[in-house]
Amino acid sequence: MKTQASSEEQQRMLDAARALADYANLEPEGVEGFKAAHPDFVPAWWWMSIQGTGKGPWMRERDLVREAWEKFPADLILRLVTSHWFTFGTFNRREVSSQEKEWPYQQAVMFLHVNAWQSKTCRFCGRRFIAEHPKTKFCNFDVSVDKNFNLVPDGIRMSCFWAYRNRSKHLWWSKHSEDINDQRRREYPAAKRRKSHAKRKNLRQR
């Protein structure tokens, strides 16, 4: 029973960490989708717009998460988990006491402070993600690329791993193809002469 409870807790923390990665990648056009997918991740006033700035608390905190990503040092951890935005909407001691719960956002930050190796940035697309292995370099998102394997809004869909691998091969060939083709052009006549010579030699031996 204890093992099952521990496993469920671990999964809950991983889910919170993945939500934090989504939050770190968040742009204004994705806010409503994120709120729908993670309705209790942070307090409701986190998403309000500060008049005259065009920005909201979520953007300031997101930028701080981005700064902490992959390392989650102690000084930034403290700022992240004690943000005044967690109690912004409370006005008296009773309300503050009722808000003294740990939000999934705070739990995810503390989890990644201990397990910072899991907070990765994709080597190809640059998105933040939660890794399951220390040597993981690519996220599990699909990306859209053009024929040269550069990121584009509407193109060929593939994983970041294959896009990175194909682009590396494409860049290598672009850099070395002229030299390789020159070498082939030099070697081809010599190889053709050797083949012709060997053929004539075989005919004489018959």
Cα within 13 Å of Cα(99), Cβ side: 19
pLDDT band at 54 (very low <50, low <70, confident <90, very high): low
**Contacts (Cβ under 8 Å, ≥6 apart) of 89:** 43, 44, 45, 95, 99
In the predicted model, is pLDDT for residue 44 greater than 50?
Answer: yes
Biggest CA–CA distance in the chain, Å, is 108
Beta strand extents in 28-85 (DSSP E only): none
Q: Are the C-beta atoms of residues 93 and 84 closer than 8 Å to each other?
A: no
- pLDDT tens profile 70-86: 999 999 999 999 998 88
- Check residues 92 and 206 and name the one with the higher pLDDT: 206
pLDDT band at 23 (very low <50, low <70, confident <90, very high): very high
- Check residues 38 and 52 and name the one with the higher pLDDT: 38
* Rounded Cα–Cα distance for residues 93 and 55 (Å): 29
Instruction: Pick the closest to residue 173 from 145, 147, 154 (CA basis).
Output: 147
Q: Residue 92's pLDDT is what?
A: 44
Q: Name the residue with tokens 């682009």.
A: 167
Between β-strands 142-145 and 156-159, what pairing exists: parallel, antiparallel or unpaired?
antiparallel
Q: Which of 49-53, 56-60, 149-153 has the lowest mean pLDDT?
A: 49-53
Instruction: Pick the closest to residue 170 from 149, 146, 155 (CA basis).
Output: 149
End-to-end CA separation in angstroms for the chain: 85
Average predicted confidence (pLDDT) for the chain = 82
In this structure, the number of other CB atoms found within 10 A of the CB of residue 106 comes to 20
Summarize the confidence of residues 161-180 as an average pLDDT.
75
- pLDDT tens profile 114-143: 999 999 999 999 999 999 999 999 998 899
